Chains A and B, each alone.
Chain A
Amino acid sequence: MNESLKKVIPNSVITALEKRGLKPETFLDAVSADMDKNGELRSLYLILTDKRFILVVSDQSGEMIFSGASPASHRPVEGVGELYQYELSRIANPKILDQVVGGLFMADIDGIETWICRFSGAKMKEMRNFCMTFSCRLTGEEPPEKKRNDVEYCPKCGMPYPEKGRSVCPKCMVKRAIFLRILSYFKPFWLRICGLFLCMIVSGILSSLSPYLTGTILYDKILSKNQEFTETLGIPGNFVLALLMLVLSAALILIIKQIVGVIQGRINAYLVPEVVTKIKGNVFEALQKLSIGFFTRRQTGSLMQRVNSDANEVMGFFIDGLPYLLYNIFTFLFAAIIMFSMDWRLALISFFMLPPLFFISYRLMPRIWHAHGRRSRTVRTLYSLLNDGIGGARVVKAFGQEEYENTRFQKVNDRVRNAEMRVVRYGNQFEIMYSLAREIPSLLVASIGALFIIQAPGVFTYGKLITFLNFLGLMQGPMQFFSNIFRWWASSMNAAQRVFEIIDARPDVMEKEAPVYVDLKGDITLNHVSFGYEPNKCVLNDVSFSVKSGEMLGIVGKSGAGKSTLVNLISRLYDADSGEILLDGINIKNLAFSSLRGAVAMVSQETYIFMGTIAENIAYARPDAGHAEIVRAAQAASAHNFICRLPDGYDTIIGSGGRELSGGERQRISIARAILADPRILVLDEATASVDTETERAIQESLEKLIKGRTTISIAHRLSTLRNADHLIVLDKGELVESGTHAELVAKQGEYYKLLQLQSKALAMRGIGD
């Protein structure tokens, strides 16, 4: 028996089957399904032998475990509950019926359509493969080569991959802690950062000196006329001079502090924008690398937020927090040491509230983190909505739904406000806590210190108390800072996580390591290609065809038949789920992106115009193109005339915020873009759908010149557009139903013929009506 089948069917079931006289050696293929007819969770095993189809229903009901979850630690020993056997001769047409969730496996048994089993989405892929093998077995065809089993666990850490077939372990991807990763952005600026820290230390020392000067020295040494003090200064008895020196040194400290502050500010002003720009650049770069699927899955607004505001938010902690952290800790420690050496009792009173304070802060952290995450999510929704409301302004106005949009926006806006208020509320809580922890000790120190002075006037001096209170005042800064740093940390790390999620996201479509670089000729072959945008929702099913270099292939089919999807696969915007696509006999997965993209140009039904001049838009694929080439391409796309009529000609700014173009004009610009790219393979996806008939004819003529010597794939609703195609294929609901030349398909009188008749007669009819 095949090794891979042993993984599918548990040993206990195999033994039980052997007892019933079934020989595991004869098993050709097997698959497990996960639901019984009532939708209860139960393992079912479908087995195909050379003569029979066997359905085994397990006698144990199980736990539902889907992709990404670790397998159950304990699996009950399964036996055979029910057993059904059918001779293969009784079975025909096995097929999978897609449901909204999961699917259904059915076949004709004795000529009656019979429901065999159902399964969840997790089993869809395997069931499809099984069904394919099954039907090949029945029809006697060679089954397509079975794909290697996807590795399901990360070899490094043993974690199951969340998405099967996508061997990306998210855990191993983000190995370094977020914090360290952000720090790495500062690495190139280490010299400046050293300078920054130096400034901090200097100003830390300086600021902790001044309370001492204005306290002990002023009161106890100068005002109380301490003779010793003046002697150590070398000016015995001259207290006025001593006072002058005190004032001067205080002023000096102040000036140095200011200078250091300015230097520090300048370094900061340089560092922050530098690093923020770098992070933004990185995110955008990462976005460009990602496959088209990533963008369709996410809201534009939320992506915009990530590139823009998240990068700023990340820096919050690193700019307002981290540099001052050292300074504040330094000041704090310095002050604490002096205070303890002066009088440990008062110092103890000053600090007794700190341990519980830090404990509470630590406990509150997750909540703050949470509040920040929530705020960012609501803001993201707001961005998306904004994007919607502004992008769809035309529709909103046309239907007079401004009021509706307002309420819709207001609702989300309110949610943002609430989330924001929550964040602020936590901030306030911190503020209150920390100011209590500041004020209460000050009060206590002042009163107890005064008591000390009254009780033992000689020992505890007035100056000492003032110094002490000064130091307490000095600590206000660091305390205030510590009350904020938790919030900054939370918000910064929260944003950083989102930023890195994008930077680390792996594109679905990736260039192979050591790809093949070739100049393609333009032979295209598709072998058993299946594909779906969503898991298990098949858009293309087992499509095979081939186009020779220089030929034109026309793809015909109703809307939603999968025509555009097919060409998306050929230009590798997505990767096929199964089957292979070959260009010149090379699997496109092995081709270098530069070779592939250089060889394939697409004019799609969605034309996108970038911000910039018309010339830039046309030269998008080849920015080095000269004006002569641009004009020639525009002429070929019959865009030249309308461009020349514009006041600014080819220099007209179009795209968002620029001049508005009509649908046909945009389409012609994108055709010109493709013409200029001069590809080996030209994909025209409804390229002339939104131009008038006359313009279409003009473009057709230029396209005819263009397609000479190139492989062309053209999709069109109007069959007249395809009249030059060498070969036509007809798609229906993701399946290739007909293929051949125009003449062959007409002779066949099938789907194509029907479409042709309807269209040509209707057009003729319109002609008569005129």
Chain B
Amino acid sequence: MSDETAAGRSGAAAGVAQGALVDQLGLSPRGHRGAATNPAMVQTLAALRRLYLLIQQRFPWILLGAIGAAAVGVYRNGGWTLMGQQIKNALVLGGIYALVAVGYTMVYGIIELINFAHGDVFTLSGFYAYLIAGFFGGALGSLATGGGLGLVAALVILFPITMAFAGLTGMVIERVAYRRLRDAPRVAPLITAIGASFFLEGLMLLVFGADNKPTGLSTWITGHAFTIGNVTVDWKDLLVVGMAIGLMIALGAFVRITKLGKAMRATAQDRNASLLSGINVNRTISATFFIGSALAAAGAIVYSMYFNLIQWSLGYRLGIIAFTAAVLGGIGNIVGAGIGGFIIGIIYVFGGSLAGGEWSDALIFAILVIILTFRPVGLFGVDVTTRA
């Protein structure tokens, strides 16, 4: 565990973290080569430090302010109609990001690994869903488009099977690529994670081709649910957001109530102690990967229902964006990841609406850099008790 994040975490109090962080910036006058003897230099350094502290302490408020300003901008551009539509878009995207972010945060929480391949598990699950939907000669599709009850039945078939396949994929990746390196320095499994990610991407490229695959799932759910003002909300929108929030709550309950969930929390806190108290750590970690990947699969299904496509390289950028959401919410914090997902969705859509869609990605990456630089503990810090 790296020192400063450890300090930030275990302390969970912002004050402790700040002291450690500022010091590591190298801005404190340690007396190297007489750098601090020059009064102008001392002043500049002090000013920089104050600025840094300011940003660090007020980070949530700065972010909130920026989002508020963006909202005003969107309102001035297109009134309540545009505002409502963009909020709807933001919630849909945010729901998908949240589902993927949870996988990052759970894995990081338990073995402190940035599971780089997670975004590609997302993509792969999209392909699973595509294959499963077409498996019975498209019978599932006709069932789904046939009528209300048929749709429910098709969803009940599609979601669990896809999620199970995705979960197994996640477990296999953990077993093959990460388990042997569990006690290695943290960067070693990160490199294998990148390798695993590229391997999966290459595999999808080979099997499914380079092009987008229209999944056809977008025809399953059609029609408007209700209208508020000029904003029409589709059933599809409701499904995405409902799915994200529902699964999030289910996961929260699972982690709190069940024995496996408790084992996860215990393992996240102290692996060796968990081992001593009789927890099967390997199985617990496998289960974490299973759940994280399954949630990503749920995200992938709703993604392909919404955007009607899946492509081999999709998971890379989407993965980084979801990871940003996880960091924003405080990596290791499940609830934080969920909220982070929705915040990132709002930033992505509002930013794109104001500055032009081509800036959305760059904006998210900038936020990633800024959070990690100024506030690696995220918006909420990490409440150790909810970490799993």
Task: Say whether A and B bind each other.
Answer: no
Binding site for B on A (CB under 8 A): none
Binding site for A on B (CB under 8 A): none
